[in-house]
Amino acid sequence: MGRTKKGDPVDGVMLLDKPLGMSSNGAVQKVRRLLNAQKAGHTGTLDPMATGLLPLCFGNATKFSADLLDADKGYTARVKLGVTTTTGDVEGEVLETRDVSGVTLEAVERAARSFLGEIEQIPPMYSALKKDGRCLYELARRGETVEREPRRVVIREITVSDFDGESFTMSTLVSKGTYIRVLAEDIGRALGTGAHLTALRRTRVGHLTLDKAVTVETLEALGTPEAVRVKLTPSDALLSTLEPVRLEAEAAKRFLFGQCLPLGLALRGRVRVYDDAGMLLGTALVDERGVLAPERLIAH
């Protein structure tokens, strides 16, 4: 006899404003308990020292979490010049300090703009990337440093504000896999002063934005799983950049059986698919002949 699943079959996306000090997995488990949900996952980790938008997926929404893993991310960071640390942020040990008295706002802006576009980043040792099966941060904590391959990332937007002579706020929109800590360090290196992050807040994941997010405290205050579930966003919030296709009853049934449908659609590429009642059935690919081929399906 199979094990009984704990919790209820809850579907949807919770846009969480993750607090400082909480791990992404800790956030998933916390909200999962508040929802009393069976199946849960997140859409890419956010460091414990970072706050901000962490979309959490429950039930059928977990099928589409990869769509946000590949999405652009928006961040606001506070960067301190003149100090480098072992981790590239405020949690590390100080490696070096330098004078920043001659640095101007114009110089900071110029240095930041020089990283716009496609660049190469060397991942930090204090990261969850693995080398020979071991997380780099585990090696770093033992004082080891290993060679890391540069990664190509894209800095789509970067602006500088609130410069006080030694610290500034940096707002960015970046491609997946970009390390904001490394970007801050690289700007400090370009200025000849060094730099590290003192705060990091994620403001955007794909088309999802922080202004729609809720805090753990808000969810806890609601008191019951049923009340918390009201705060969920429908699963198709993860797919809103895809064009919708609606199927009549018979076609919807065939689609859920995994059959390709020669519908002669004018659309091409990935689409989201609904039945005639507006219920999400999954995602599909439309080929050059207009044939709808199931990709990820939701069990109903």
Which residue among 47, 67, 72, 275 is the active-site one? 47
Q: What would the two tokens of residue 53 be?
A: 């938008």
Question: What residues are paired with 202 via a beta bridge?
Answer: 52, 75
87's tokens: 């981790």
| Percent helix / strand / coil, the chain, rounded to 5 | 25, 35, 40
DSSP characters for 120-188? EEPPPSSSS-EETTEEHHHHHHTT-------EEEEEEEEEEE---SSEEEEEEEE-TT--HHHHHHHHH
Residue 287 falls in the annotated catalytic set: no
Distance CA 228, CA 238 (A): 19
Active site residues: 47
